[in-house]
């Protein structure tokens, strides 16, 4: 498609400040940006790089606690930095629309989806209510939502995340804007669902020749969506180039390092021969009080010193399996063995020594650490509880643990979690698990809330600790790149069942269970043509939720043939 080359948005030397600790700090330090009609610009960078702030500024909007302190933002001839609030408001939703990261949080729970959709066209008197509703249904159909006539009349909580994200894209389209800001629209979705949303967004932006700023930290995603890519670091531009050029030939070191992140890979270990598994999950069924079965005949083994990755979409039973192993949720059938001996199903019946063996590290280090407790106590408490250490013994143990996670003891001993960065907090989470001196650690999505470089650091640390302390990991994740880099064996779960398991190298080679195949093929690759090729191969209606619900977990279980 030939795109007209009129400039739609011109940002020059944009400076934005944020208020923290009683003073204004520069968060965007002079960024330029030019966007033509119909062009899609990818903004990438780690959290804190200022991507979202620039996205909001393109609408003339400064979030609470921030202010636009310099530069100019010209949208189609209108200077937004000097425009009145009314003038800016008349653009929003009308000529510039916004698609947020979490559709579940960004739809108002109190109103039907379609009423939120028609709000802007009705407000701007572009359409009558019925017309606007019909238009909404048309957009729902274009975005391949199921039951386009009816889905809008549901409340947001009655619709799945992937569908809601597409409904929000439809809402952004309601006034046929010139520009849409997509702020990490697929970050919160499973890979299988992400494809659907990406395909839908790309089609509709193309069809209406809408310009877009696509904000993400996922390079493979931005490669599918953007014509040009701009890389940001700490509020400053690193470089900008066309997508192809950026992928093939990045100029700056920082960009190269981003591209290289996925390179960490450690050699795959083999199972020890004639050995009893450290943890053995045997035919486990489980359900939450009064609910349906969420685990159905789950069995797998974890051997000493090895890493088993458990993958699957949200709701596939990964975290429930962790709860069964730790004894938080006693299974309704089956059992968990530790070195061949049955583990009491309820953690309350486990001895201190049994409890010590099995520790957890959580996804959100933010909420898993008590913000009002000092680091020394967070790590020291399990050490005191399990080993009975006191006084100077305890202090030297805490120092030793801090050393292990590569944080200088004297510097961090007396600090509190909110003073630390995300990666440091996750390290504290790791140290807390190590304090019990375990043999088995469950890592529940430990890197998914972190930026890629930081996540890589955590993976390297976990790998080193595994070698030094001979730990076994159960690594719950939905990120197959992580699986590739750290796992020895893989367990694939769907609808509470294990559909496939085996050594990693074999898992990434066909033949697969259809669901594994879907998961693997859904992971975006750095090739800009990946999405196009995939959609051609599979067909637009055979991706995401539609495809995964077509797969019967029992269909051709390949389990056993591989082990």
Partner 1 sequence: MGDILGLIARRLGLGLVILFVISIIIFFMVELLPGDIAQAVLGQGATEDNLAALREQMGLNKPAIVRYLEWLGGAVTFDFGSSIVTGERVTGLIGERFMNTLFLAAYAAVIAVPFAIILGVIVALLRNSIFDRVANVLTLTSISSPEFFLGYILILFFAVKWGMFPAISSLSQGMSLGDLLYRTFLPALTLVLVVTAHMMRMTRAAIINLLASPYIEMARLKGAPPWKVIVKHALPNAWAPIINVVALNLAYLITGVVLVEVVFVYPGIGQALVDAVSKRDFPVVQACCLIFAATFILLNLAADVGAILTNPRLRHPK
Minimum distance from residue 116 beta carbon to partner 1 (Å) = 8
As measured in angstroms, the least distance from the Cβ of 534 to partner 1 is 30
State the CB neighbour count (10 A cutoff) for residue 73: 23
State which residue, 107 or 475, has the beta carbon closest to partner 1.
Answer: 107
Distance of CA 176 to the CA centre of its chain: 29
Q: Shortest approach of partner 1 to residue 106 CB, angstroms?
A: 4
Rounded to an integer, what distance in angstroms lies between the CA atom of residue 231 and that of residue 363? 27
Task: List 480's β-bridge partners, or say none.
Answer: none
State the minimum distance, in angstroms, from the CB of residue 123 to partner 1.
6
| Strand-pair category, 279-287 with 333-338 | antiparallel
Helices (H) and strands (E) in the chain, counts: 24, 20
Q: How far is the CB of 157 from partner 1 (least distance, A)?
A: 5
CB closer to partner 1 out of 126 and 389? 126
- CB contact at 8 A, 40 and 225: yes
Residue 7 or 122 with smaller CB distance to partner 1? 122
CB atoms within 10 A of CB 293: 16
We find the least distance from the C-beta atom of residue 99 to partner 1, in angstroms, to be 9
The residue (of 102 and 374) whose beta carbon lies closer to partner 1 is 102
* Contacting positions for partner 1 (CB under 8 A): 56, 59, 61, 63-64, 89-94, 97-98, 100, 102, 105-111, 119-120, 123-124, 154-155, 157-158, 171
C-beta closer to partner 1: residue 189 or 233:
189
Closer residue to partner 1 (CB): 167 or 480 = 167
Q: Please report the DSSP string for 295-329 in residue order.
A: EEEEEEEE-TT-EEEEE--TTSSHHHHHHHHHTSS
- To the nearest whole angstrom, how small is the minimum distance from the Cβ of residue 38 to partner 1? 22
**Shortest distance (Å) from residue 120 CB to partner 1:** 5
Measured distance CA(127)–CA(294) in Å, rounded: 46
Q: Residue 47 or 102: which CB sits closer to partner 1?
A: 102
Kindly state the smallest distance separating residue 9's Cβ from partner 1, in Å. Answer: 16
By C-beta, is 91 or 435 nearer to partner 1? 91
496: left (phi over 0), alpha (psi -120 to 50) or beta: left
Q: How far is the CB of 411 from partner 1 (least distance, A)?
A: 33
And the tokens for 495? 């609808």
Residue 302 vs residues 23, 45, 125, 305, 544: alpha-carbon distances, Å: 52, 36, 62, 9, 30
Q: Name the residue nearer to partner 1 (CB basis): 59 or 394.
A: 59
DSSP 17-63: EEEETTEEEEEEEEEEEEEETT-EEEEE--TTSSHHHHHHHTTT---
Which positions ≥6 away from 493 have C-beta within 8 Å? 298, 310, 311, 312, 316, 317, 318, 321, 499
- Cβ proximity to partner 1, 62 vs 241, nearer residue: 62
Q: What is the C-alpha to C-alpha distance for residues 75 and 93, in angstroms, rounded to an integer?
A: 14
Nearer to partner 1, 180 or 431 (CB): 180
Residue 164 · residue 185 · CB < 8 Å: no
Q: How far apart (Å, rounded) are the C-alpha atoms in residues 28 and 9? A: 18
Smallest gap, in angstroms, from Cβ of residue 347 to partner 1? 31
Q: How far is the CB of 158 from partner 1 (least distance, A)?
A: 5
Tell me the angle at which helices 253-260 and 452-469 cross, rounded to the nearest 10 degrees.
50
Query: Residue 164 to residues 109, 149, 169: CA-CA distances in angstroms?
Result: 12, 15, 9
68 or 91: CB nearest partner 1: 91
Is 279 strand, coil or helix? strand
DSSP H or E stretch at residue 211: strand 211-216
């Amino acid at each position: 498609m030939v795109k007209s080359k009129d400039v739609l948005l011109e940002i020059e030397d944009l400076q934005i400040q944020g208020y923290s600790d009683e003073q204004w700090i520069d968060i965007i330090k002079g960024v330029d940006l030019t966007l033509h009609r119909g062009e899609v610009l990818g903004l990438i960078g780690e959290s804190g790089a200022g991507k979202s702030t620039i996205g909001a500024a393109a609408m003339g909007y400064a979030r609470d606690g921030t202010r636009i302190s310099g530069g100019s933002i010209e949208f189609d001839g209108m200077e937004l930095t000097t425009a009145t609030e009314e003038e800016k408001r008349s653009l929003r939703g009308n000529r510039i629309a916004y698609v947020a990261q979490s559709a579940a949080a960004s739809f108002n729970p109190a109103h039907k989806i379609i009423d939120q959709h028609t709000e802007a066209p009705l407000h701007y008197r572009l359409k009558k209510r019925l017309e606007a509703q019909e238009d909404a249904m048309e957009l729902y159909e274009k975005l391949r939502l199921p039951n386009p006539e009816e889905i809008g009349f549901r409340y947001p909580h009655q619709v799945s995340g992937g569908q809601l994200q597409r409904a929000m894209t439809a809402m952004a389209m309601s006034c046929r804007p010139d520009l849409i800001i997509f702020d990490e629209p697929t970050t919160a979705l499973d890979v299988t669902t992400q494809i659907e949303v990406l395909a839908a967004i790309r089609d509709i932006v193309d069809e209406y020749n809408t310009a877009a700023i696509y904000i993400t930290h996922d390079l493979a995603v931005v490669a599918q969506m953007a014509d040009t890519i701009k890389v940001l670091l700490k509020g400053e531009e690193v470089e900008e180039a066309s997508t192809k050029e950026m992928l093939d030939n990045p100029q700056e070191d920082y960009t190269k390092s981003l591209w290289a992140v996925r390179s960490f890979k450690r050699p795959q270990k083999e199972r020890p021969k004639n050995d009893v598994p450290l943890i053995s999950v045997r035919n486990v069924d489980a359900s939450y009080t009064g609910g349906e079965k969420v685990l159905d005949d789950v069995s797998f083994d974890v051997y000493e010193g090895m890493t088993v990755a458990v993958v699957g979409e949200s709701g596939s039973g990964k975290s429930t399996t962790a709860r069964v192993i730790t004894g938080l949720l006693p299974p309704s059938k089956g059992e968990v063995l530790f070195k061949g001996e049955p583990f009491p199903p309820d953690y309350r019946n486990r001895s201190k020594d049994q409890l010590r063996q099995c520790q957890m590290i959580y996804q959100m280090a933010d909420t898993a650490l008590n913000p009002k407790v000092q680091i020394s106590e967070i790590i020291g408490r399990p050490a005191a509880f399990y080993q009975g250490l006191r006084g100077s013994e305890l202090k030297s143990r805490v120092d030793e643990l801090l050393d292990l996670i590569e944080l200088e003891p004297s510097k961090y001993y007396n600090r509190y979690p909110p003073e630390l960065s995300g990666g440091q907090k996750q390290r504290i989470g790791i140290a807390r698990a190590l304090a019990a001196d375990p043999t088995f650690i469950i890592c529940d999505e430990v890197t998914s809330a972190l930026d890629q470089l930081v996540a890589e650091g955590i993976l390297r640390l976990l790998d080193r600790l595994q070698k030094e302390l001979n730990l076994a990991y159960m690594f719950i994740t939905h990120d197959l790149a992580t699986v590739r880099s750290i796992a020895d064996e893989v367990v694939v779960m769907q609808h509470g069942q294990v559909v496939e398991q085996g050594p990693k190298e074999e898992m990434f080679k066909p033949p697969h269970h259809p669901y594994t195949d879907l998961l693997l093929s859904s992971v975006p690759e750095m090739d800009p043509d990946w999405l196009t090729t995939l959609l051609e191969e599979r067909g637009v209606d055979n991706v995401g939720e539609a495809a995964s619900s077509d797969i019967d977990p029992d269909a051709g279980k390949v389990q056993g043939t591989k082990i």
